Amino acid sequence: MVDNGVSDSLFKMPTIKFTKLFINGQFVDSISGKTFETIDPRTGEVIVKISEGTKEDIDAAVAVAREAFDTGPWPRMTGVERAKIMVKWAELIEENGEELAALDTIEAGLLYQFTKFEIPAAADMLRYYAGAADKIHGKVLKSSGQFHAYTLMEPIGVVGHIIPWNVPLMMFFTKVAPSIAAGCTMVLKPAEQTPLSALFVAHLAKLAGVPDGVLNVVPGFGPTAGAAISSHMEIEKVSFTGSVETGREVMHAAASSNLKTVSLELGGKSPLIIFDDADLDKAADLAFFGMFFNKGEICAAGSRVYVQEGIYDELEKKLVEKAKACVVGDPFDPKTNQGPQADKNQFDKILSYIEHGKKEGATLLTGGKSIGTKGYFIEPTIFSHVKEEMRITQDEIFGPVMTLMKFKTIEEGIKRANNTRYGLAAGIVTKNIDTANTMSRSIRAGIVWINCYSILESDIPFGGYKMSGFGGKDLGLNALHKYLQLKSVVTPIYNSPWH
């Protein structure tokens, strides 16, 4: 079902308050004076011009972050003091929730009903790490009798965050919440497609009492601002979420500069394996949600759906029916199920992959076309008769394109699920606990969902195997440890009888 009109009656464009760089607690123009346009994916029209950060602006932001770390109060506060400010920040996010939700909908094409859900989730993520801020401690070690030894957990220093455009607000706090709880200072580059919510929450951070210089937000482009973060000699760690290709560049820049530590989350091509004993309606719901949630612009999307042959035909029919009934249109309309792709480049990339699928011999069951003459809308698309070597099976498309395949045995399911260079996530749908346990222990992925899909919460570690990334997990207390370093302290015991 198609209804991609953008109705002015559904939503009034908010006043855009913050369009400049946020450095040292102030909104400032870029040193070059350059700006770039952020685009509404519903229409392809300009929303507003944003100050464009380049290397010089990153240098300025890092300088104040360095000063804030070396001499400022944030790393020296007690965990309780940091937590109080983080909780206040969370309250301000909830108070400004409607405006923040609208910004992500306008820039990224996310459904407004989802971005409204993002607000309490983002606030709760801050609260989760605020609760950990006063529980960072080392251990007393069992050394020899002549020495007293213990460890300290200290903030790693100045951190560079580079975040993607698909779920901007959640990605902001996935990176910032644990690092700020750890006592780090930071420079964050939002994706050039989606800078508005990052700038808004930076303003709220200042209102909450985050000291100047602790959080700096510099919008800009990857080859300039992003590269400057990755290669900066005064940044101790960079945390990046995005493509494999850019991840390689981040690693190379980190290695070529000061050997800063790197955390990469690089996406996936995740399998969903559905067994004959599955409840068909539930399996269809999970498969459709796992693939088409947020128009497929989710790194953990279950884009490779393997269905055991006994239920394949019936499940295929149900999925096609769901795709045809999906309402693609204005993300502010509560009747809409799928909004526009985030930008023109992604829109063109997805359509090119659909053409590859057809040329390689896969059967297009439904969808496959763009919608309308303005904006970046694409029909939910399902391919069958797909082979493992096809590009639509192996490459991360990051759009509403599902590949549907049969399998016979559990051994075949395991083999095909692991036949990918990625290893971010996987799903299993079965009523058999032995099947679930065997599959979950055999699939090489960082998170496995059983009879559910894409459940992401603050206390559940998230991150992949293989080319889906490394360097520590996002979410959970594991994420806090990415921004801490371990120091051992040893002192002699002078009155020891062994001295």
Catalytic residues, by residue number, are 265
CA distances from 66 to 69, 159, 174, 475 (A): 5, 10, 22, 25
> Helices (DSSP H) in 243-330: which residue ranges?
244-256, 280-292, 312-325
Tell me the DSSP string of 212-250. Answer: TTTEEE--B-IIIIIHHHHH-TT-SEEEEES-HHHHHHH
Phi–psi pair at 3, nearest 5 degrees: -155, 75
The amino acid occupying position 49 is: K
User: In DSSP terms, which residues pair with 405 in a beta bridge?
Assistant: 306
d(CA 52, CA 64): 19
Please tell me whether residue 263 adopts helix, strand or coil conformation: strand
The amino acid occupying position 304 is: R
Residue 220 burial by CB count (10 A; 0-12/13-18/19+): exposed, middle or buried? buried
The amino acid occupying position 331 is: P
Q: Is the dihedral of CA 171, 78, 156, 458 positive or negative?
A: negative
**Count of CB atoms within 10 A of residue 442's CB?**
16
Tokens linked to 498: 């062994």
Cα 97 to the center of its chain, rounded Å: 20
- Whether residue 323 contacts residue 366, with contact meaning beta carbons closer than 8 Å, is answered with yes
Find the angle CA(363)-CA(365)-CA(368) to the nearest 5 degrees: 90
Tokens linked to 384: 């069958």
Find the angle CA(7)-CA(12)-CA(16) to the nearest 5 degrees: 130
